[in-house]
Amino acid sequence: MNDLFAPFYEGWGLFYLDQFSSDMYNNLLYVPIGLTLVLSTALMLIVYYYAIDHPKFAKWYHWLIWVLLICGINFIVAYYVSYNELDLIYAQKQQTLPYSTEFFSFSMFNAFWTLMFGLIVSALIKWKSVNCKRTPF
Amino acid sequence: MSKIYVFGIGGTGARVIKSLTLLLASGVEINSDVVVPILIDPDKANGDLTRTIELLKNYQQIRTRVNFSSQSNKGFFRTKIEDVCSNFRLDLKDIENDKFRDYIDYGGLNENNKALISLLFSEDNLNSNMEVGFKGNPNIGSVVLNQFRYSSDFKDFASSFVQGDRIFIVSSIFGGTGAAGFPLLLKNIRNADQSLATCALLKDAPVGAITVLPYFGVTPDPESKIDKSTFISKTKAALSYYEENISGNNSLNALYYLGDNITKDYENHEGSIDQQNEAHFIELASALSIIDFMNIQDVDLEVVNGCAQNPIYKEFGIKNDTQSINFLDLGHLSQQYLGKYLSQYFLFTLYLKNNLRDSLHLPWATGSVKIDTQFLNQPFYASYLRNFNERFVEWLEEMSRNVRGFAPFNLNVGSSNLFEFVVGIPPKTSFLEKGSNYTRVNHILAKVEPRVGNPNVEQKFMSLFYLATEELVKEKFNF
Check residue B373 and give its pLDDT.
95
A-chain residues within 8 Å CB-CB of B362? 55, 58, 131
Residue B467's contacts (CB-CB under 8 Å, 6 or more residues apart) are B448, B451, B452
Q: Rounded to two decimals, what is the model's pTM? A: 0.88
Check residue B410 and give its pLDDT.
96
Least confident range of B382-396, B409-423, B428-442: B428-442
- Containing B172, the helix (H) or strand (E) segment is strand B166-172
Q: What is the pLDDT of residues B299-348, one digit of tens each?
A: 999 999 999 999 999 999 999 999 999 999 999 889 888 999 999 999 99
Query: Splitting chain A (137 residues) into consecutive groups of 10 residues, what average pLDDT does each group show?
Result: 87 83 90 95 97 91 96 96 93 88 93 96 94 90
Residue B149's contacts (CB-CB under 8 Å, 6 or more residues apart) are B188, B192, B193
> What is the rounded average pLDDT for all residues in chain B?
89
Identify the residue with better confidence: B282 or A137: B282
Check residue B70 and give its pLDDT.
64
A-chain residues within 8 Å CB-CB of B451? none
Sign (positive or negative) of CA dihedral A91, A97, A100, A106: negative
- Predicted confidence band at B275 (pLDDT cuts at 50, 70, 90)? low
What chain B residue is nearest to A58 in terms of C-alpha separation? B362
Check residue B243 and give its pLDDT.
87
What is the rounded CA–CA span in Å between residue B202 and residue B284? 28
Q: What is the pLDDT of residues B6-55, one digit of tens each?
A: 999 988 999 999 999 999 999 999 999 899 999 998 877 788 899 999 99
Q: What is the mean pLDDT of residues B227-249?
A: 81
Nearest-Cα distance to chain B for A124, in Å, is 17
The partner residue sitting opposite B447, judged by closest CB among A58, A130, A135, is A130
Q: In this complex, do A131 and B367 lie within 8 Å of one another by their Cβ atoms?
A: no
Check residue B72 and give its pLDDT.
58
Check residue B353 and give its pLDDT.
96
Reported in sequence order, the residue ranges of B226-338 that DSSP labels E, i.e. its strands, are: 254-258, 265-266, 303-304, 307-308, 312-315, 324-325
Check residue B416 and give its pLDDT.
93
Q: Answer yes or no: are the C-beta atoms of B347 and B353 closer than 8 Å.
A: no
What is the rounded CA–CA span in Å between residue B357 and residue B366? 13
A-chain residues within 8 Å CB-CB of B446? 55, 130-131, 133
Nearest-Cα distance to chain A for B416, in Å, is 15
Check residue B177 and give its pLDDT.
80
Q: What is the pLDDT of residues A19-49, one digit of tens each?
A: 889 888 999 999 999 999 999 999 999 999 9
Residue B17 phi/psi, 5-degree rounding, is: -65, -35
Q: Answer yes or no: are the C-beta atoms of B174 and B213 closer than 8 Å.
A: yes
Q: Answer yes or no: are the C-beta atoms of B392 and B22 closer than 8 Å.
A: yes
Strands B307-308, B303-304: parallel, antiparallel or unpaired by DSSP? antiparallel
Does the pLDDT of residue B270 top 70, yes or no?
Answer: no
What is the rounded CA–CA span in Å between residue B31 and residue B180? 29
Check residue B268 and give its pLDDT.
67
On whether any CB of chain A is under 8 Å from the CB of B370, the answer is: no
- Predicted confidence band at B273 (pLDDT cuts at 50, 70, 90)? low
B446-B447-B450-B452 Cα dihedral, nearest 10 degrees:
-80
Q: In this complex, do B439 and A56 lie within 8 Å of one another by their Cβ atoms?
A: yes
